[in-house]
Amino acid sequence: MARVCGIGALLDPAGSAPPDSGARMAAAMRHRGPDGDGVCRLGPATLANTRLAIIDVPGGDQPLRSEDGAITAIVNGEIYNHVELRAELESAGHRFATRSDSEVVVHGYEEHGTDVVRRLNGMFGFALWDSRAERLVAARDPFGVKPLYWCSDGRRVALASEIGALLAAGLIDPRVDRVALDHYLACRFVPAPRTLFDGVLKLPPASILVAQEGGPVRIESYREAPGEPFDGLEGEELSRELAERFTDAVERQMMSDVPYGAFLSGGVDSAAIAAAMARRSEGAPSTFTIGFPGHGSVLDEREYARESARLIGTDHHETAMGQADFLGELERCVRRLEEPCGVPSAPALMALSRFTAQSVKVALSGQGADEPHGGYGRHQAAAALGLAGRLGPAARPLRAAAGLMAGNERARRAARLLGDMTDAERLLRLGEITDDGLRSELVSSRGEQAAAERRGMAEQVLADVGDRGLVEQALYLDTRLFLPDGLLICADKMSMSASLEQRVPFLDLELMRFVERIPARERVRPRQGKRLHRRAMSRLVGPAIVNREKHGFSTPYDMWLRESLGEEVERRYSPGAALGDLVDPGTVGRLVRAHRAGSADHKRILYCLLELSEWHRTFVEGEVPVEAEAGA
């Protein structure tokens, strides 16, 4: 298969777009697929793609077509259950022209229409032109592992894997969406359907887009609520079943005709992936890590990763990043992120991806384990809030006591969370990094529209699990709202910047259908985040790795912000700076000074402001070229 990693489509019935729009879209995504590209004109529709060869490397290029030529598709991603789907479709009379996993999208659409998406276990963004119905159809995978952006001016509809393709085609102008800015300063990312670019939308995870001449663009969700909770499956039987299903998921995602490996930190999640790979492959898997010299084992996990590699038996490789490299890497990083996502490890992930791509074309990653299994402190907080909710009026003294501790930010936050609000609002605030008051100081807006949008998004997602407890709702909301457009988009953009495909076995659809039926009481216990997950993974990696303290993939950015990086943030928001119309320089200066003095912890919002300044400089001010560059 000629694996496609960047797709673009344009529906332009009047022919008003520049004739080279498709070629310009493909050129802007060359870093996603340096092995080739193509542009196909189909009446009013144009399909463009770039190629990264993974499976059946000498095989034919996309687009892929149905037997009668009526359906033409381009697909970014991997369909892990394509062998079973191919057998079903061939039994129904369909004839396949390639070995491509992506061809099941074409014949599946012929057979099932847009319901084909419900049958795909994979990470994907695809677009197809249906010449019989004269419509453009696009879809994004259930968890949003692969991004898909779109825009419309009422006459034309365009979509692409990256915003840069829409910019390069001359279809939009880079302007700031003020409502999205409030989302970003609250959540560290902009949840779909908005982006930070006014007029550019993200297709939400588990969504289908349908566009036809003369009608509005239609967006439909195909998200499926979890099945009924298991009753009676628990203890050793449950952890054994979870470990086996996880190992099966890793094996599914090892399909490749080119070298592949795994990112390896010092933690249990990436180690479990490497161990599962070792169990289901003949040779030693290749693993890759990055560290930060001079910052001890908490942040520089190379020593722990090295030990995990030795215990598992991998072919291990490591690299490093220092403070002096960070700003330069941040500039390259934001150019490829296209939207700031508030992930301080993004520059390091970009450097690690570039390093890894020297050896392999595919890397499996441990992302997606924390959200469904309760790996964050906010999941413990949700358990405490659920208890307080059950106490009813008896919780009022707790709220009053917390409110009196004015000098303690955690206490003030607890008081706010114990206040009168819906569960959706409570869970949203657990994931937010700023309160309404600070955002109002920063952007001189009360953010009412953004807050209403976030509440509406959360309520829509939580409707799937409205009969479950607060902890289970927190896990589901994290997985379906916070994960896709923050960490997952970051992972896709940073790996693809180096033409490296990153896969996330913990979000395998078949595995997740099993995980989300496990009652929250089994997954999370007080002071026991990822309780079941760690017991299951210990069957693969042993207690020495499982019992290490959780740190996550992090960087020493807190310390750097107290040093030269903090000075850089204040400089970028000084009076008269280009961002002065968007963000108040005085408020930023106050946050920087308090953080550098150690009197407050503002690292998360300060990093977001640093990333925002780089984004604004690159895309709005146009000071940094956004064209593809070798090695960028």
Distance CA 561, CA 27 (A): 36
Please give the pLDDT value at position 298.
64
**Residue whose token pair is 């509809």:** 157
Please give the pLDDT value at position 419.
66
Provide the β-strand partners of residue 262. 287, 364
SS3 call for 452: helix
φ/ψ of residue 300, rounded to 5? -100, 95
Could you give the angle at which helices 235-252 and 531-541 cross, rounded to 10 degrees?
70
Q: Could you tell me the sign of the dihedral formed by the alpha carbons of 364, 369, 370, 371, in that order?
A: positive
CA atoms within 13 A on the CB side of 68: 6
**Cα dihedral 396, 399, 404, 410 in deg (nearest 10):** 170
Please give the pLDDT value at position 402.
39
- Measured over all CA atoms, what is the biggest interatomic distance in the chain, rounded to whole angstroms? 72
Pairing of strands 286-291, 315-320: parallel
414 or 488, which is more confident: 488
Per domain, the residue ranges of the chain are 4-221, 235-368+483-546, 377-480, 557-620
List the structure tokens of 150: 């779109």
Which segments of 392-468 does DSSP mark as H helices, in order?
396-404, 409-417, 423-431, 436-443, 448-462
Q: Which residues contact 607 (CB under 8 A, 6 or more apart)?
A: 342, 344, 557, 561
List the structure tokens of 172: 């939009």
Distance CA 206, CA 138 (A): 11
In the chain, the percentage of residues whose pLDDT exceeds 90 is 73
The CA radius of gyration of the chain, in Å to the nearest whole number, is 24
For 388-399, what is the mean pLDDT?
48
Please give the pLDDT value at position 382.
86
For 603-620, what is the mean pLDDT?
95
Reported confidence tier of residue 629, pLDDT bands at 50, 70, 90: very low
Instruction: Assess whether pLDDT exceeds 50 at residue 137.
Output: yes
Please give the pLDDT value at position 33.
83
Q: Tens digit of pLDDT for each residue in 434-443?
A: 999 999 999 9
CA distances from 197 to 10, 154, 174, 208, 524 (A): 19, 18, 6, 21, 38
Instruction: Assess whether pLDDT exceeds 80 at residue 299.
Output: no
560 or 174, which is more confident: 174
Instruction: Assess whether pLDDT exceeds 60 at residue 398.
Output: no
| Catalytic residue (choose from 5, 151, 341, 490) | 5
**Residue whose token pair is 């005085």:** 586
What separation, in Å, do the N-terminal and C-terminal C-alpha atoms of the chain show? 26
Provide the β-strand partners of residue 11. 45, 157
Contact 272, 537 (CB under 8 A): yes
Please give the pLDDT value at position 549.
72
Please give the pLDDT value at position 1.
40
Contact 318, 461 (CB under 8 A): no
Q: What is the CATH number of domain 235-368+483-546?
A: 3.40.50.620
Pairing of strands 260-263, 286-291: parallel
pTM of the model: 0.92
Contact 405, 148 (CB under 8 A): no
Distance CA 497, CA 632 (A): 7
Instruction: Assess whether pLDDT exceeds 70 at residue 625.
Output: no
Q: Where are the beta strands (DSSP E) in 71-134?
A: 71-79, 122-130
SS3 call for 445: coil
For 124-132, what is the mean pLDDT?
97
For 263-288, what is the mean pLDDT?
95
CATH top class, domain 4-221: alpha beta
For 579-601, what is the mean pLDDT?
93
Amino acid at 276: A
Please give the pLDDT value at position 2.
41
φ/ψ of residue 433, rounded to 5? -100, -10
List the structure tokens of 434: 């700023």
Note if 341 is an active site residue.
Answer: no
Q: Could you tell me the sign of the dihedral formed by the alpha carbons of 213, 218, 219, 221, in that order?
A: negative
Q: Which residues contact 129 (CB under 8 A, 6 or more apart)?
A: 9, 42, 45, 47, 71, 72, 73, 135, 136, 137
Q: Tens digit of pLDDT for each residue in 211-266?
A: 999 899 999 999 999 999 998 888 899 999 999 999 999 999 998 777 899 999 98
419 or 307, which is more confident: 307
DSSP annotation of 447 = -
Q: Tens digit of pLDDT for each residue in 453-510?
A: 999 999 999 999 999 999 999 999 999 999 999 999 999 999 999 999 999 999 999 9
114 or 565, which is more confident: 114
Please give the pLDDT value at position 564.
82
Reported confidence tier of residue 525, pLDDT bands at 50, 70, 90: confident
Distance CA 59, CA 79 (A): 17
Cα 193-344-532 angle, rounded to 5 deg = 80
In the chain, the percentage of residues whose pLDDT exceeds 70 is 90
List the structure tokens of 190: 């902009």
For 192-204, what is the mean pLDDT?
98
Distance CA 296, CA 448 (A): 43
